[in-house]
Chains A and B, each alone.
Chain A
Amino acid sequence: MKDAVEIKDIFLSYMGQGTSETAGIGMLGLFLVALIGLVWYSGRKKQTAIVWAIIFSVLCVFNNLSMKILAKFTSEQTFYRFFWAVPILFVIAFVVVKALEESKGILAKGAIVVLVMAIFMNMGPGFATRERFVYSGSMEKIPGDVKQIGEIIEANKMSERPVCLMDLSTQLMIRVENPKVVWAVGRNKRRYFEENGYGTGKYKYVENMLRVVDSGEKIRPRKFKRALKRKNVEFVVVSKGFEMEEYMQRVGLNLVGESDSYLVYQNKEIQVTV
């Protein structure tokens, strides 16, 4: 998150854009309407002074200049959290209940309920989708593959904290199963390649490793081996679907185990750390 574009992104997100999940009226639009309702129902009373003060203050804070100043105290990437201080949901809910309270007759109340329901429905599919009601089958969120890989690494490791190379989905879960595992490729570098793709000329060693485990590319074995040596990688986990058995032999890695969908190779030519 660096400058104006990012703050715009936050507003857009609150307006229901920028995600595939929701694309309806948006919270921000509803909130602006609710603010008019707040003025309408509160009149000149002082009760809502705090809400107004918070809203105006946050809006004063929520600009690029403030972001640059405040980023000295806290990270720019966490700047969107200032927006949480605005009680968006509560203002909307308060105005809806007030509208129901003030309206006279069952027809008027019914119309408000229908309107609110229509707005909810138009906000997008939201969270309570039919798929989410279907029981996923298990409370355990770690796939069996990750458990098996964690056990194979633990049983065969030479280092106390072995550096391991694997695809993203396995990497994100492996340290819960085996906390001794050290990632060969960290978040920032993975994100760099997600955003820029391969072939930028930056982080060549990391790129060579990711080409093999993420895409199943059979790059020149010497290149891959050099990357493994550079990062002191002890274990390489590749999907069985990539059919890399022969390639890994050429690289000089030993197959030490397999899970349902992955093969686990060990690189014995590492600097062992205890």
Chain B
Amino acid sequence: MIEFIQCVGMIMVQLAVFYGLGYLVSVPAGETKIGLKNMVLGFFCYFLCMDVITVPLIMLKQSFSLVVVLWLVVLGIFLGLLCWVRYKYKVKLFSFFQVKNGISWKKLGLYGMIGLIVLILLYLVANQNYWGWDTAYYMGIVSTTLDSDTMFLIDGENGRMEKYIGFRYAFSSFYMNSAFWCRVTGISVVFFQKYVMGSLCIILCFILVCELGKQLFRGNEWKMFLFFLVTAGLNLYFVTGYTTSDFLLMRSYEAKAFCANVIFPAMLLWFLKLHEQLDSKKNWRALMLIVWGSVPVSMSAILIAPVMVAVFVLTECVLVKDLKKSLHLCRNGAFCIGLNVVFLLMYFLFTKGIFMIRV
């Protein structure tokens, strides 16, 4: 029971941190109403910032304890910044909960139903017992980091010393985040990965489904609810290997699951937003944050995210039929994929044996 409460508490803490960071990046950019989509932006900002700390320290073969100390300091700075931004911009932290003309029971019922369905999904996912090779690998990365106080110097799967730092995983701070919270709170690796990260994946995924529904049906909440229902049904009724549903329900604690169910839907959402307002700086910045944060969340996005941005930009270039606007779009797209290209280049050099750091 204590562990259950710890896990629920940790889910709340992580969501609060994402929400706070979402507020931090959105309010100075001109947002006056902070909602759940800002929490998604906060999620990407969180992992991007963590990557800034962890990747150099991994390359320098520093101890994991140093990451813990530095990240605690950074979180403290974020908290200070949050207070300052709140004071300066006067945008309410929880403007999301404000209802203009009293409570609408219909709306409350819809959101209540969504919450209930997500809770049932969380229960089903927590109750299943999948444990495969990748589970052993990823749980192993976290437990080895905690045990040895090193990062990626020991193979998380089999426990053998690595010859070189494995950049297949080291560019992503996803598992270091789990190790950080396990160290700080004392929650076991299995509990944190399986229940906390697993639940976060599902919650963020369905926040994005709702936001996509709102975007596609121009804010009509009833249609958004139907869209959510069908998506949830499709996820529940079709689970085979390789599918996004498989990763959402069976392996939700893996970085890959976040890639399939959070990164790509988030990109799609902001593609749709940009499609409507191509010159919206706010949306371009949001897309850049998502794409820059994609590798820190999951290495699976290293190539696919830039490809998706390129496809979007080329499509829009064809649609606008204006050279000046097209060049502007290409420049924005290039900014969005900049960090991924750097990571991709480093990873390519790593696979060719040119950029390697001996353990």
Contact = CB atoms under 8 A, between A and B. Distances in A.
Partners in one complex: yes
Interface of A: 10, 13-14, 16, 18-19, 21-22, 24, 26-27, 46-47, 49-50, 53-54, 57, 61, 70, 72-75, 78, 80-85, 87-90, 92-94, 96-97, 100-101, 116, 120-121, 123-124, 126-128, 132-136, 139-142, 161, 171-173, 175-176, 179-183, 186-187
21 contacts: A14-B240, A18-B240, A18-B241, A26-B238, A50-B271, A50-B272, A54-B308, A81-B300, A89-B231, A97-B217, A116-B230, A124-B238, A126-B236, A128-B236, A139-B4, A139-B195, A142-B190, A172-B131, A172-B136, A175-B143, A183-B159
Nearest 8 Cβ contacts at the A-B interface: A179-B147, A182-B159, A126-B237, A93-B230, A53-B315, A183-B158, A179-B143, A172-B136
B233 A180 contact: no
B243 A27 contact: yes
B124 A61 contact: no
B143 A135 contact: no
B267 to A, nearest CB: 8
Interface in B291-321: 300, 302-304, 307-308, 311-312, 314-315, 319
Contact of B315 (A13, A49, A92): A49
Q: Which of A84, A126, A136, A186 has the most CB of B within 10 A?
A: A84
Given A101-B223, A179-B143, A46 B136 contact: no
Contact of B133 (A133, A142, A187): A187
A16 B143 contact: no
B268 interface: yes
A55 B236 CA distance: 23
Nearest to B275: A50
A116 B307 CA distance: 33
Contacts of A175: 136, 139-140, 143-144, 156-159
B234 to A, nearest CB: 5
Contacts, number: 204
Contacts of A135: 127
A127 B245 contact: yes
B25 to A, nearest CB: 24
B348 interface: yes
Mostly, the A contact residues are helix
A14 B240 CA distance: 7
Given A80-B242, A141-B131, 20 more contacts: A13-B243, A22-B238, A49-B275, A57-B307, A75-B168, A82-B304, A84-B259, A84-B304, A85-B304, A90-B231, A93-B230, A93-B234, A94-B216, A101-B223, A127-B245, A141-B190, A172-B131, A176-B143, A179-B148, A187-B158
Contact of A14 (B158, B243, B256): B243
Mostly, the B contact residues are helix
A22 B239 contact: yes
Contacts of A100: 226
B43 interface: no
A130 B249 CA distance: 16
A132 B226 contact: no
Interface string B142-182: 01101110000000111110000000100000000000000
A81 B304 contact: yes
B260 interface: yes
A27 to B, nearest CB: 5
